[in-house]
């Protein structure tokens, strides 16, 4: 787990138990002078309420489990740094998920550069034991799907993740991506077609 995650988790665990009637953190509470007076506590509250959803979104966007913790930490670090400029025009969750999308975009652009370097290396690792046929088939199907999502252009991948994987509403996804719903329709349709073709194409291998 990253350094920021370690720093935030104890704060969240020491917090007083919330009243069941207490609503989730709202834009008004984040933007109030009293809350803004304790930036660390505010960030901890955001982390406690939104970490799981942010992690799920980032995992779906980058398709790289090992990177999720660091990217979640980067998301909340950016939120901590910019929370003073949060204007309350959108819900806190929408604002955070927008930050997460930008963090994922940055990571993916770096990964493309790393992939170009790795492609020049020769893999000398000996092959491991071959798993049973059914397990091997399931692994290959999952890997084809993940590769298909990874290989989508950024705009199509983001639309596919928000609508198909996370099952967000068209309106919510359009707000997060800052595009008209008509544009989102087209991106999702193209993404679904490309993923379907990539996954089904592997059946002939």
**pLDDT top residue among 42 and 27:** 42
Is 100 or 35 the better-scoring residue by pLDDT? Answer: 100
Measured distance CA(87)–CA(75) in Å, rounded: 18
Q: What is the pTM of this model?
A: 0.64
What pLDDT band is residue 43 in, cutting at 50, 70 and 90?
confident
Segment (H or E) for 55 = helix 39-62
Contacts 24+ apart (CB under 8 A), 47-56: 47/8, 47/9, 47/12, 47/76, 48/8, 48/12, 48/15, 49/24, 49/25, 50/92, 50/93, 50/96, 51/76, 53/93, 53/97, 54/96, 54/97, 54/100, 56/166
Given a cut of 60, whether residue 67 has pLDDT beyond it is yes
User: What mean pLDDT is reported for the chain?
Assistant: 77
- Domains in the chain with CATH codes: 1-121 (1.10.1740.10), 133-205 (1.10.10.10)
Q: Which two tokens stand for residue 33?
A: 């002078």
Q: What is the pLDDT of residues 133-143, one digit of tens each?
A: 677 777 788 88
- The token pair at 51 is 């970490």
């Amino acid at each position: 787990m990253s350094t920021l995650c370690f720093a935030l988790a104890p704060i969240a665990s020491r917090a007083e138990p919330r009243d069941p009637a207490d609503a989730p953190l709202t834009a008004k509470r984040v933007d109030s002078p009293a809350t803004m007076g304790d930036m660390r506590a505010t960030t901890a509250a955001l982390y406690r309420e939104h970490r799981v959803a942010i992690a799920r979104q980032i995992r779906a966007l980058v398709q790289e489990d090992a990177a999720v913790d660091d990217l979640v930490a980067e998301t909340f670090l950016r939120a901590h740094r910019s929370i003073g400029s949060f204007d309350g025009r959108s819900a806190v969750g929408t604002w955070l998920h927008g930050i997460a999308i930008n963090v994922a975009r940055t990571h993916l652009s770096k990964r493309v550069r790393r992939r170009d370097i790795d492609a020049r290396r020769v893999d000398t690792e000996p092959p491991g034991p071959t798993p049973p046929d059914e397990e091997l088939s399931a692994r290959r199907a999952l890997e084809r799907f993940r590769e298909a999502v990874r290989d989508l252009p950024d705009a199509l991948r983001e639309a596919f993740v928000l609508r198909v994987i996370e099952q967000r509403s068209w309106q919510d996804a359009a707000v997060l991506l800052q595009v008209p719903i008509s544009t989102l329709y087209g991106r999702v349709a193209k993404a679904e077609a490309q993923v379907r073709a990539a996954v089904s194409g592997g059946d002939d291998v």
